[in-house]
Structure 1
Amino acid sequence: MHYRRYVAIGDSCAEGLEDPYPDGRGYRGWTDLVAGELARLSPSLEYANLAVRGRRLDQILTEQVPTAVAHRPDLVTLFGGGNDVLQGRWQTMARSLDEIAATMARAADTVVLFTLPDIARLPGLRRLRPRVSALNDLITETAAKYGTLLIDVRDDEYCDDERLYGGDRLHLGPLGHHRVAAHVLTALKLPVDPAWLAPLPPACPEPLWRTASRHWTWLRHHVYPAVHGTVRNKLIGRQPGDGLVPKRPDPAPVTPMP
């Protein structure tokens, strides 16, 4: 199937965090990769990305969905819910997800939803495992209810492999973004570069001191700044992503990537 207009909505994962373009002109991510491959088959494809880091489902519903509908897409992807889990926003999560899926299913021929990887694999976040599981059950049920495509990232045997993630171990890195893009293209029944889904080589064992060093670096450069930033934002009434704008707010032609 050839698509005319693709709109991505969601949070940091849909924005493409931890997968910068080689020339430093911003974040790429799986959405840009998918758009580039779609453009090979449909040179007239237009692509917009409304995702903004830190956005919860209720914010995606109010800030991104009306614009997405106005763009008249025939393909929509939604990757979100992780910030609801981290912030414990259960009161509005189910209702927001249902309304997003229902609205997008009316607006576009093809809608793609995603489950989340197990963020509870990280030290200090294990208490969130029941929340992640509950959210994934909700996403699965919502996809079935509205007949959307579902990318269950847990089906990828490397889903929890640290090599798929960036330095913060929470967001996908370049390798992870390529794998998600490949799963989307597969679900759309489109050609996929086999290298994007190639098996990872066996992980090499490392000395205990190196593991400890990497863990300390992660705590110092990612965990501490994240905790400090969360506390500071709460004190001043800010939300992650406040002041940021979507990287591709309007549909525009796409140049296929090399």
Structure 2
Amino acid sequence: MRIRRYVAIGDSCAEGIDDPYPDGRGYRGWTDLAAGELARVSPSLEYANLAVRGRRLDQILTEQVPLAVAHRPDLVTLFGGGNDVLQGRWQTMARSLDEIVATMAEVADTMVLLTLPDIARLPGLGRLRPRVTRLNDLITETAAKYGTLLVDVRDDEYCHDERLYSADRLHLGPLGHHRVAAHVLTALDQEPDPAWLAPLPPAAREPVWRTAVGHWTWVRQHVYPAVHDTIRNKLSGRQPGDGFVAKRPEPGPFTPAP
């Protein structure tokens, strides 16, 4: 498959949060990794990334989709819905997802949708499992309805392995971004770097006290600040991601990382 123009839309995972470039020039993520491999096959590839952290599906629809349509891409990837789950925005979620996919499927030859991992694996978030399941069912049904490609991250045997995630245990870390990029490339009939899907060594077993300390550190450094920010945003009328912009708003040549 030769792709001339690739546009990524979505939220923080599509933006590449918590997978920084080694030289500190921003976040990389699975979209940059996939674009780099596609550019090796198609050196004239142009790539844009319109994803912005914190964005819900209704915001992706109104803010990113019109720009994506104007770019006339051959390939579109969408990773989104996690913020809808966290905010319980069921009223608009299904309608927004359907409109996003219907609109982009009319423009792009190929579109890839991705499911979400089960965030109920995190302590205290078990109540969110039905929401995540509902979202993933919706994504799967929408992909079938419009004939898009689907990457179901739950098919990866390491999907819930903590080593794939960053310190906040919610966003992917570098290892997770590489694995998602490999799954996307495979869906596009491209051969990913085998190292990106290499089996992980057995996880080291930690004593109970160390696990407990790890949970407390996670709550103190990530959960409490996130709850505080959520309350502050509600009181001020702000939304997560306000003030941030897309990292690659215009399609342009993309040089694969060495």
**1:99 and 2:99 aligned:** yes
TM-score computed with the length of structure 2 as normaliser = 0.99
Paired residue type of 2:107? A
| Residues 151-190 of structure 1 aligned to structure 2 (within 5 Å) | 151-190=151-190
Alpha-carbon separation, structure 2, partners of 1:18 and 1:36: 18
CA distance in 2: counterparts of 1:144 and 1:237, whole angstroms: 36
Deviation, 1:209, is 2.0
Question: Where does residue 15 of structure 1 map in the other structure?
Answer: 15
Distance (whole Å) between structure 1 residues aligned to residue 254 and residue 78 of structure 2 = 20
Q: Deviations over 1:84-143 (max 9, x none)?
A: 000000000000000000001001000000111001111121101011101111100000
| Deviation (angstroms), 1:206 | 1.0
One-letter amino acid matched to 1:54: G
1:48 aligns with 48
The 1-side partners of 2:136 and 2:256 are apart by: 32
Partner of 1:212 in structure 2? 212
Supply the distance in 1 between the matched residues of 2:21 and 2:214 (Cα, whole angstroms).
Answer: 25
Give the whole-Å Cα distance in 1 for the aligned partners of 2:31 and 2:145: 24
**What is the aligned residue count?**
258
Q: 1:198 aligns to what?
A: 198
Distance in 2 separating the partners of 1:18 and 1:234: 25
Whether 1:6 aligns to 2:6 is yes
Q: CA deviation at 1:210?
A: 1.5
Partner SS for 1:177 = helix
CA–CA distance in 2 between the matches of 1:90 and 1:206?
Answer: 39
CA distance in 1 between counterparts of 2:47 and 2:4 reads 9
Matched, 1:134 2:134: yes
**Runs of 5+ unmatched residues, structure 1:** none
> Cα deviation per residue 1:22-59 (whole Å; 9 max; x = unaligned)?
11111000000000000101111010000001100000
Q: Distance in 1 between matches of 2:250 and 2:62?
A: 17
Q: How many Å separate the matches in 2 of 1:123 and 1:53? A: 23
Which residue identity lines up with residue 11 of structure 2 in the other structure?
D
> Could you tell me how far apart the structure 1 residues matched to 2:214 and 2:120 are?
19
Give how far 1:255 is off. 0.5
Name the SS of the counterpart of 1:9 in structure 2: strand
- Is the partner of 1:250 in helix, strand or coil? strand
- Counterpart Cα distance in 1 of 2:11 and 2:155: 22
Aligned-partner residue type, residue 222 of structure 1: H
1:36 counterpart = 2:36: yes
Identity, % of aligned positions? 85
User: Secondary structure, in 3 states, of the residue corresponding to 2:251?
Assistant: strand
Instruction: Note if 1:87 corresponds to 2:84.
Output: no
Gaps of 5+ in 2: none
Instruction: Give the corresponding residue for 1:241.
Output: 241
2: distance between equivalents of 1:124 and 1:190? 39
What secondary structure, in the 3-state scheme, does the structure 1 residue paired with 2:159 have? coil
Inter-partner Cα distance in structure 1 for 2:108 and 2:124: 39
Q: Structure 1 length as normaliser, TM-score?
A: 0.99
Question: 2: CA distance between counterparts of 1:137 and 1:207?
Answer: 37
Post-superposition offset of 1:77? 0.1
